[in-house]
Amino acid sequence: MELADTAPLWWLAPVLVLLAAYAASQGRRAPDAVPHPAVALLRAAMATRPSTAWRRHLPAAALLLSMVLAAIAIARPALRTPIPRERTTIVLVLDTSGSMQARDLFPSRLAAAQAAARGFVASLPDGFRVGLVQFASQASLVQPVTEDLRAVRRAIDALESDGGTAIGDGLQVALASLPPETFASPTTASPDAGTAVIGAPAGPPVPPAVVLLLTDGQNTEGTDPQVATGSARDQGVPVFTIGIGGRAAPFGPGSNRTNSVDEALLGEIAAQTGGQYYFAPGAGDLNRIYADLGRALGWDWERREIGHWFGAGALLGAVIATVLASFWLDRTPRPGPLAPGVAAP
C-alpha cells in the first residue's frame, strides 16, 4: 500500500495524546470512591460474576481507531495491481565461458546466473516469447524463441561452461533468432542510459524485442562487439547488459586483479542501443537486477485508490463508539423494583 499524501499522517499525533491521557485517567481513583471495611467480602461476592470491566475501554478504542482510519483515508491510500504488458520477445544471452566456473558468486558464477535467469523467466506473464543463446568460444541458439517458458527454464538448467568469450557472436546470434516482425525503429539512446534506474511502475513502452546479455569477462574472440552493437541499433533492439565477477583493477595495469568484466564495453553496448548496463558483485545483486528487469519488461502497475474503505471504517468506528458509550457507559439512575406492599410515590 502507498499513500499519495503523507502530511495527514501528522494528525495521528493527537490520537497518541488522547491515548496517553486516557491511560492516565484510568489510574486515578474516582472522586466519589469511599473506603469499605470488608473489601475481601466484596471480592468474594463478585468472584462468581463475569467481569465486564473491559467493556468500558471499547468505546474509547473504537473512537481512537476511527480517528486513525480517517487520517489514513485523507492521505489517499492506494494499492498497485500488476497488469501484463503487451507481448514482447526477449532473448537471454548468457556467457558460458570457462571463467563462469569461478566461485566468487555462490555457488558459482554460472549457477548464480542460471538461478537469476530462471527467476526472470518465471516472473514473466503468459504469452511472452523468450529465447536463449549461450556463448563461449562460439555462440549457439540453445532455445529458439518460444512461448513455452518451461522449456526455456529447462534449457537454462542444461548450460555448461567451457572455452573463451565471444560477446559479439552471442549478440549476433540473438539478433538472428528474432522473428522479423519484432524489429522496431532504431532506438535513440538517452545520455544517461547506462545509469538510469529501471523497474519503476508504469515505465515507458517496451519495444517488440529486447536482448539481455550477461558476461563475466572481456571479448576474446569472434565478431567485434561493436559491429554487433551497430546491428542491434539499426534494428531497434535495445540490449540490456549485465556484468558479474571481478571489476577492473582500481590501480590500473599491473594490479593482480585478473579476469575483470569489460564494463566500458557493456556500458557502450547498452548506451548505443537504448538499453541499460548493470553490475552485479554478488548473487543477491544479480537476482535483484533480473527481478527489476522482469517487472519493467513484463508488467505495468495500475494504481487503485482504497481511501473510501478507510473512510467507511472511520465512520463505522465512530458509530460503534457512540452506541457502546450510550448503552454500556450510561450511569443514569433507574428506579428498581418496589418491595411488596410498598406503594409507588
User: How much is the pLDDT for 192?
Assistant: 41
Query: Picking from 87-101, 119-133, 150-164, 322-336, which range would have the lowest pLDDT averaged per residue?
Result: 322-336
Helix 307-328 to helix 58-74 angle, to the nearest 10 degrees?
160
User: How much is the pLDDT for 284?
Assistant: 93
Give me the mean pLDDT over the 66-78 stretch.
Answer: 86
Sign of CA dihedral 191, 193, 195, 199: positive
Q: pLDDT band for position 287 (50/70/90)? A: very high
Give me the mean pLDDT over the 239-245 stretch.
Answer: 94
- How many Å from the N-terminal Cα to the C-terminal Cα in the chain? 64
Q: How buried is residue 82: exposed, middle or buried, by Cβ count under 10 Å (0-12/13-18/19+)?
A: middle
Q: Please tell me the distance from the alpha carbon of residue 313 to that of residue 342, in angstroms, as a whole number.
A: 51
Give me the mean pLDDT over the 57-85 stretch.
Answer: 81
**Strand, helix or coil for residue 298:** helix
Kindly report the average pLDDT of the chain as a whole number: 80
pLDDT at 92 over 70: yes
C-alpha triplet 87, 89, 92: angle, nearest 5°: 140
Cite the beta strand spans of the chain per DSSP E: 2-3, 77-84, 89-95, 129-135, 139-146, 209-215, 239-244, 277-280, 299-305
> 259-278: per-residue pLDDT in tens?
589 999 999 999 999 999 99
Query: Picking from 124-138, 152-166, 231-245, 306-320, which range would have the lowest pLDDT averaged per residue?
Result: 306-320
User: How much is the pLDDT for 251?
Assistant: 41
Give me the mean pLDDT over the 104-125 stretch.
Answer: 94
pLDDT at 5 over 80: no
> 44-65: per-residue pLDDT in tens?
655 665 655 667 778 888 888 8
3-state SS of the chain: helix, strand, coil percent to 5? 45, 15, 40
Give me the mean pLDDT over the 245-257 stretch.
Answer: 50
Range of 159-163, 327-331, 332-336 with top mean pLDDT: 159-163
* Rounded percentage of the chain residues whose pLDDT exceeds 90: 44
User: How much is the pLDDT for 149?
Assistant: 94
Domains of the chain: 83-302 (3.40.50.410)
pLDDT at 250 over 60: no
User: How much is the pLDDT for 333?
Assistant: 55
Give me the mean pLDDT over the 100-105 stretch.
Answer: 92
* Rounded percentage of the chain residues whose pLDDT exceeds 70: 72
Give me the mean pLDDT over the 316-341 stretch.
Answer: 68
